[in-house]
Structure 1
């Protein structure tokens, strides 16, 4: 009985520590800020996606995007991030990630990524892009990008999320069209995958150059090493899964708004 009680207490202590570690990781890493800023990102993504179809007026797209983003609860995504980290990472992995973000380099990188997630940085990033590309062309920084992108899976995950958003929006529009079917619309969206991959790859690369421009190649290589570790991959994989799900959920509600605004008798 004493052994069973000891194991139970130890198990409860481990779970409590894991939860504490997950909360700390979300707080120390950029995840907390990303959760807070995601509503604006989702609104912009829905609006731009609708306008890109050529079937929705900008004002209507803005209205629908507002409805979609209003369904996004920042507290819910933060809780999802913590819960998924607890589920996907064991106690040792969480402690390793926590120690990384408590380090001097980890804190400075987290700050850079957090600032890049804020709306003022988006325009600055676009403005700085040509100069950054020229500055780092052919350098070790450019060569490190492939390792960084493979470790984080940034381009691939961004492409899958972009396609999922476009499919949801296109299928909703197809329901309002007499000439299109859900299957034909899906084929049209998937046919654009190569173009989306090129665009997303370019955006991810430029964001990488912008975010880490103040860091040395040695510091960036150390960061990539962390991302390539089992703990780093588990962390980024769990976080990406949570964020993807959080984005798709409000987008899936947009179809109802499209029907209400654009369908027969719509407002």
Structure 2
């Protein structure tokens, strides 16, 4: 048998066998393995509900108008668009090896258990239960290792940082709409500056909410399991994944805020 006739089939067979094993998962596959896609699916409803409830606290707006604005907001954000933004940025920011490592983590039993509680906690229906138990859980875990672990978790997950930025963006959208009812209507840049000046105060409130959510969400996750989770978040691939996901969600939410706020302001402006 000629050498060429032997080598060629072996090379082809080797490529067939090695190809699938060496191929890194796609960003879409990694996202599907994580809880992110399930959580993002709830984002339009969460945004709408949050803005609707915020507006209803204002005596300047009738509840019907607040509901209308909530409807406008919910139709201005699409989960598919947010997910597409995340996938695009993951493809740009993470290497094949990093994507493979992230997918590998999310396929472990510990990661699946943690993903399940994170998805459950992202449901708007769980918010009231979370708020109702906040004081009780805060007292229960005060001074414990679980409470002390929060700072490390928060830093690794960028939870408070991301929530503050999102809160400011939402408040800016609300303020732009509410300016239509004020005789001293401020422009977008002025509103943005005023709200940014409140960042420290906003952070204090948001950090407490994030802490309450942390205690509620991970209550049934053991300290050992939380340690493994934070180890992943602090690792190169985990940190890159978390950073890209939070920034992508932030971008997908904040980019339309100014436009939505201006549309709502025009819609709500009193007829002269």
Alignment of structure 1 residues 1-267 onto 2, 5 Å: 17-18=23-24, 20-52=25-57, 54-174=59-179, 177-182=182-187, 183-251=189-257, 252-264=259-271
Give me the whole-angstrom Cα distance separating, in 2, the residues matched to 1:79 and 1:191.
32
Q: Is the 8 A contact 2:177 2:268 kept in 1?
A: no
What is the Cα deviation at residue 187 of structure 1? 4.2
The farther-off stretch of 185-194 and 202-211 is 185-194
* Alpha-carbon displacement from aligned partner over 1:151-170 (angstroms, at most 9, x marks no partner): 11111111111112212321
Which consecutive unaligned segments of at least 5 residues does structure 2 have?
1-14
Runs of at least 4 residues off by over 6 Å:
none
* Alpha-carbon displacement from aligned partner over 1:73-106 (angstroms, at most 9, x marks no partner): 2222222222221111111111110000001101
What is the Cα deviation at residue 45 of structure 1? 2.4
* Alpha-carbon displacement from aligned partner over 1:92-137 (angstroms, at most 9, x marks no partner): 1111100000011011111111111122222221122122111111
Give me the whole-angstrom Cα distance separating, in 1, the residues matched to 2:182 and 2:247.
33
Q: Is the 8 A contact 2:30 2:102 kept in 1?
A: yes
* Alpha-carbon displacement from aligned partner over 1:156-200 (angstroms, at most 9, x marks no partner): 111111112212321343355331322553343234323211110
Q: Is the 8 A contact 1:68 1:254 kept in 2?
A: no
Q: Cα RMSD (Å) of the superposition?
A: 2.3
The farther-off stretch of 202-211 and 239-248 is 239-248
TM-score calculated relative to the size of structure 1: 0.86
Instruction: Report how many aligned residue pairs link the two structures.
Output: 252
**Structure of higher CA gyration radius:** 2
SS at match of 1:87: helix
* Alpha-carbon displacement from aligned partner over 1:14-72 (angstroms, at most 9, x marks no partner): 9x945x43222211211111121111111022223434555433321221121111122
The farther-off stretch of 38-47 and 162-171 is 162-171
Compared CA separation, residues 47 and 250, structure 1 to 2 (3 A): farther
SS at match of 2:176: helix
